[in-house]
Amino acid sequence: MINVAAGIIEKDGKILIAQRRRDDSFGLKWEFPGGTLLNDECEEDCIVRELMEELGIVVEVVRHFYSYSEPSIKVHYYIARYLSGEIKLIDHEQVKWINRNELLDYDLLSGDSIIARKLLS
């Protein structure tokens, strides 16, 4: 099973979502950014590392929000706070800071869509 950590990044009352590159699996779908855990890496460290590598931003992990599983993947979602950095599009087509109530207006990955509904409830 692949373990992934994703950040629900908050800044000024908005949430960051990122659109996957068109040539990636699930291309052009929107997601909460993150990535695959490295050997012996904890989920919180993975989020911090991945957001620096993929977007060039520094975040502080606040708390675990929810874990979602499919047969071959488990995604651990964490609330995180944006601290610094200018967003760079390294592994994504685009990113947006949106209001929480706009989350379901985007074509999210299936697991991220479940998380969006939980954030709205």
Any domain includes 11: yes
Residue 83: the pLDDT is 98
CATH label of the domain that carries residue 72: 3.90.79.10
Nearest partner of 91 among 42, 47, 41, 56, judged by Cα? 56
Neighbours of 108 (CB within 10 A): 20
DSSP 8-state symbol, 24: S
Residue carrying the six token digits 């990113």: 95
Residue 5: the pLDDT is 98
| Global model pTM greater than 0.85 | yes
Range of the structural domain that residue 35 is part of: 2-85+92-110
What CA–CA distance (Å, rounded) separates 46 from 107? 25
What CA–CA distance (Å, rounded) separates 114 from 20? 18
pLDDT digits (tens, 9 = 90+) for 24-39: 988 999 999 999 999 9
Report the number of distinct structural domains present in the chain: 1
**Splitting the chain (121 residues) into consecutive groups of 10 residues, what average pLDDT does each group show?**
97 97 93 96 98 97 96 96 96 97 97 96 92
